[in-house]
Amino acid sequence: MENKPKKPTPSIKQNHGRHQDPVARRSNFDEVALGFGLEEAVTEAARCLNCKNKPCELACPVNVRIPEFVDLVHKEDLGAAASKIFETSLFPAICGRVCPQETYCEAACVLKDRFGPVSIGRLERFTADYARKNGLIKPPACAPDTGRKVACVGSGPTSLAVAAELRKLGHAVTVFEALHEFGGVLSYGIPTFRLPREVVRFEVDMLRKMGVRLLKNVMVGKSITIDELKKDFDVIYIGSGAGLPTPMNAPGEDLVGVYSSNEFLTRVNLMEAYKFPAVDTPYYVGKRVVVVGGGNTAMDSARCAMRLKPERVTLLYRRTRAEMPARGEEVENAMEEGIKFEFLTAPVELEGDEKGRLKRVKCVRMELGAPDASGRRRPVPQKGSEFYIEADSLVVAIGQSPNPVIQQTTAGLSVNKWGGIITEEATGKTSLDGIYAGGDVVRGGATVLLAMKDGKAAARAIHEKLSAKVN
Ligand code: FAD
Ligand code: SF4
């Protein structure tokens, strides 16, 4: 690139990358964030001070070598930049898109308060996309086969991280996935306008090229039990996620037109209902959609609903914007797309018509009281504040709990009161010898990076166990 800015140029304004126009994107499922071109990436990379104590890298749950890869982007050595990220993360095009950098690496960037942080997530995404499109990504080398066999249950980020790490160390890994597509929430939950399917498929395919066996349509606990798997595998890692919807327990939740976010997102994303009638999966949202919740799942549900072209989408959240657990960028995107936010509002009853279809939602206004167990101020209903919102459909996105099948079919596996598998934090060891677990089935709904972090920690412990057996 000619006229490349010399490093460091921290005071150049932070570049957040280009985005699809908010009105145009309301009617398509194409990616919203368009990212950087080479020139923008190199200019953004020039802002980095290459801090010796690496605060950004230390704040990253998987310790991506941030200053080094950003420096390589500035030098336009993108193959080397991609390899540098690969040293600690095999899924940079995914993480560059969906990780909450604003709470991890970018929050720790020394430039944050004066000029805005280096756009680390956008640079990671650019590097991974460039390397993928230009054939610069080679699967990492794997050690000679050890003869040890590991089964991973589920193919979400936590199992993918375990599979990658253990395969590199020469162990034979088989992944069992209940659905017909690999990737867990990355495929069935997060919409294509945030994470295109081909990105997930490419990064999953990397594992296949490394020799990981990926089996789909196998529900462990039903098609085959953990005890049966134990006969064929030295170690089992459970990464079955948290896909069990939390109901509101409000009267009327069984009316036609009321969905759990899980059903709604699976239908729209995984089954591609938005292409109906070109695909078999129908959908119904009607003219007025209400979404309940304040996390990423609620934002994704509301933004998917908006793309199905109703007249309006209203999001109800019982606290204020400051307490919303969703990524800031996703809240902004949702607002730009015209979703109406009703803060300090909770549904108390769903009313239907004579055919059992949802007609309107009785709501109550809340105020914030003393902090609850989560440290956030508890929402308290305001007396006499009831009001109604007309609605044809409603999506409940107020949280998920661990998938229960394995816990119910595996004797001796210790679980907590929410159904999460209890593990030793540093290793992922469960109450049963040779069985490890991590990600959302343990944490009960966290982030992609924490799921990967658990997977990497368990992989270290599993390798230690298997090496002891080998010697
Ligand atoms: P999952 O991704 O849930 O994968 C578990 C897999 O196991 C699934 O494929 C499931 O089908 C399979 N499975 C379950 N039971 C069985 C069984 N018995 N046998 C075989 N397979 C089984 N995090 C972020 O960092 N950024 C985001 O922007 C973000 N957005 C999100 C949006 C939505 C809609 C949701 C629901 C979550 C989001 N998250 C986000 C959270 C993040 O996706 C999860 O924390 C992460 O995917 C957890 O990874 P996991 O591997 O533990 O589980
Ligand atoms: Fe660069 Fe910011 Fe990391 Fe310092 S903290 S190395 S400026 S990205």
Partners of 149 in beta bridges:
172
Q: Which ligand is nearest to the CA of 14?
A: 2
Tell me which ligand sits closest to the C-alpha of residue 151.
Answer: 1
Kind of pairing between the strands at 312-316 and 340-342: parallel
Predicted confidence (pLDDT) per residue in 174-195, tens digit? 999 999 999 999 999 999 999 9
CATH of domain 18-133: 1.10.1060.10
Q: Ligand 2: distance of its center to the CA of 58 in Å?
A: 11
Rounded to 5°, angle at Cα 186 from 152 and 37: 125
Contact 208, 186 (CB under 8 A): no
247-398 homologous superfamily: FAD/NAD(P)-binding domain (3.50.50.60)
Mind listing the pLDDT tens digit for each residue in 156-177? 999 999 999 999 999 999 999 9
Residue 372: pLDDT over 90:
no
Query: Ligand 1 centroid vs 242 CA: distance in angstroms?
Result: 6
Mean pLDDT of the 440-466 span: 96
Query: Could you tell which of 7, 109, 120 is best to mutate to test the pocket of ligand 2, judged by most ligand atoms within 8 Å of the CB?
Result: 109
Lookup result for tokens 């009703």:
342
Average pLDDT rounded to a whole number, residues 75-104: 94
pLDDT greater than 60 at residue 470: no
Per-residue DSSP letters for 272-291? -GGGTTSSS------SEEEE
Say whether pLDDT at 469 is over 70: no
Cβ atoms within 10 Å of 280's Cβ, excluding its own: 10
Strands (DSSP E) found in 261-329: 288-292, 312-316
Half-sphere exposure of 40 (CA within 13 A, CB side): 18
**247-305 pLDDT, tens per residue?**
999 999 999 999 999 999 999 999 988 888 889 988 899 999 999 999 999 999 999 99
Kindly indicate the confidence band of residue 373, based on its pLDDT and cuts at 50, 70 and 90: confident
Q: Please, what is the end-to-end C-alpha distance for the chain in angstroms?
A: 53
Between residues 233 and 377, which one has the greater pLDDT? 233
Segments making up each domain of the chain, as ranges: 18-133, 149-243+401-470, 247-398
Using an 8 Å Cβ cutoff, are 140 and 210 in contact?
Answer: yes
Positive or negative torsion for Cα 293, 295, 301, 306: positive
Question: Is pLDDT of 466 > 60?
Answer: yes
Q: Is 151 in contact with 236 (CB distance < 8 Å)?
A: yes
Give the position, in ligand 2's atom list, of the atom nearest the Cα of 10. Answer: 7
Ligand 1 atom closest to the CA of 176, numbered from 1? 20
Mean pLDDT of 92-113: 95
Q: What spacing in Å lies between the alpha carbon of 244 and ligand 1's midpoint?
A: 11
pLDDT score at 282: 86
Task: Please indicate whether residue 372 or residue 434 has the higher confidence score (pLDDT).
Answer: 434
Atom of ligand 1 nearest to the CA of 406: 18
Q: Do domains 149-243+401-470 and 247-398 have the same CATH topology?
A: yes
Three-state secondary-structure class, residue 229: helix
Residues 6+ apart with CB under 8 A from 32: 19, 20, 25, 193, 194, 333
Rounded to two decimals, the pTM is 0.94
Please give the average per-residue pLDDT across 100-122, as a whole number: 96
Percent of the chain scored above 70 by pLDDT?
99
Ligand with minimal distance to 74 CA: 2
CA distance 292 to 209: 41
Amino acid identity, position 373:
A
CATH topology of domain 149-243+401-470: FAD/NAD(P)-binding domain (3.50.50)
| Ligand 2 geometric centre to CA of 67 (Å) | 6
pLDDT of the residue at 377: 87
Q: How far apart are CA 268 and CA 266, in angstroms?
A: 6
Q: Give the residue-averaged pLDDT of 419-446.
A: 97
Answer yes or no: is pLDDT of 93 > 70: yes
Which bound ligand lies closest to the C-alpha atom of 49?
Answer: 2
Q: At residue 323, does pLDDT exceed 80?
A: yes
Pocket test for ligand 2, best of 7, 70, 104 (most atoms within 8 A of CB): 70
Instruction: Give strand pairing partners of 410.
Output: none
pLDDT above 60: residue 216: yes
User: Which residues surround ligand 1 with Cβ inside 6 Å?
Assistant: 98-100, 153-159, 176-179, 184-185, 189-190, 218-221, 239-241, 243, 265, 296-297, 300, 327, 403, 405-406, 439-441, 446-449, 451
Measured between alpha carbons, how far is 3 from 23 in angstroms, rounded to an integer? 35
Which tokens is 309 given? 């072209």
Quick check: 471 pLDDT over 70?
no
Return the pLDDT at 6.
86
CA 352 to centroid of chain Cα atoms: 34
Q: What's the pLDDT tens digit per position in 60-78? A: 999 999 999 999 999 999 9
Is the CB–ligand 2 distance for residue 48 below 6 Å?
A: yes
